[in-house]
Amino acid sequence: MAATVAPTSVGSVIPALSLWWREIVRFYRQRSRVVGVIASPVVFWIVIGSGFGTSFRGGSGAGNEHYLDYFFPGALIMIVLFTSIFTMMSVIEDRKEGFLLSVLVAPVHRSVIVLGKVLGGTTLATIQGLVFLCFAPALRIHIGLAQLGLIALTVFLVSFCLTALGFVIAWPMDSTQGFHAVINLFLIPLWLLSGSLFPLTGASGWIRLLMRINPLTYGTEALRTLLFPASATFAVSTSLIVLVGFSLAMFLAAFVVANRRTTKPAA
């Protein structure tokens, strides 16, 4: 009697880890992307920060410092934004190359695909963001161990929600050009209204409203509070709660988008 071979279950952890590792290896093999993601915000930070210089001083609280100091958290958020979003462009490339089709027909739930891709992008964005902290001593910022832990948590949450948002945008698209157009239309204004370039206090009423409902504002302000405690606008705990809520909402949206049935070919 022939022996019956039971189907092998690969579970969820190994496929998710495989996709996570693939994102990291793929990113660091493209050295131009690594350099571009770090160098561009550094150039922005030095040029814009030095350009505004001391002319930005005035009043009390946020903005009452040299603009290089004020813009530092904003430049860090820019690095995280660029890394998170452009990493998810790999969803479109995977579809064109046929890799996504291979993954979709594998005996794993689509939620595993979302988890692997989002965690991969989140890891990259977090590492890239934390590397930028090596410029902190130039601003005479001394970061303690507990402070560093909270900064890493904030950067991780911002990276996670932005990567999940990038996945939601990239999943239904089949053109990298279209993806870039959406980024320019939607994500750049999201960063501009995050308090990275100008403080919430002193902005016009309707701009303040947009900044308050922008989740990225809470990431920027949490970093600013941790790096420059005298510039606190929101409590760090409040910012972290908002970021956790937004991250969960974006991750759920990514699950819904990936599990939605469609007649569109995967490759």
Q: Say whether pLDDT at 35 is over 70.
A: yes
- Does residue 165 sit in helix, strand or coil? helix
Distance CA 100, CA 94 (A): 5
Q: What is the mean pLDDT of residues 26-50?
A: 76
Residues 6+ apart with CB under 8 A from 257: 167, 168, 171, 172
DSSP string, 215-260: HHHHHHHHHHHHH-GGG-SS-HHHHHHHHHHHHHHHHHHHHHHHHS
Distance CA 64, CA 58 (A): 5
Q: Mean pLDDT, the chain, as a whole number?
A: 82
Q: Say whether pLDDT at 61 is over 60.
A: no
Question: pLDDT-based confidence at 10, cuts 50/70/90?
Answer: low
State residue 172 phi and psi, 5-degree precision: -80, 0
- Return the biggest CA–CA distance within the chain: 87
Structure tokens at 56: 């930005």
Q: What is the mean pLDDT of residues 19-48?
A: 77
DSSP annotation of 140 reads T
In this structure, are residues 91 and 170 in contact, taking their beta carbons and an 8 Å threshold? Answer: yes
Question: pLDDT-based confidence at 144, cuts 50/70/90?
Answer: confident
Q: Say whether pLDDT at 267 is over 70.
A: no
Q: What is the mean pLDDT of residues 141-159?
A: 91
Beta strand segments in 57-205, E = none
Is the whole model's pTM more than 0.85, yes or no? no
Say what the alpha-carbon torsion angle 170, 72, 63, 187 is, to the nearest 10 degrees.
-10
Of the listed ranges 4-13, 93-102, 236-245, the least confidently predicted one is 4-13
Structure tokens at 239: 């910012």
Q: What is the mean pLDDT of residues 56-76?
A: 72
Q: Residue 192: name the closest of 205, 211, 168 by CA.
A: 211
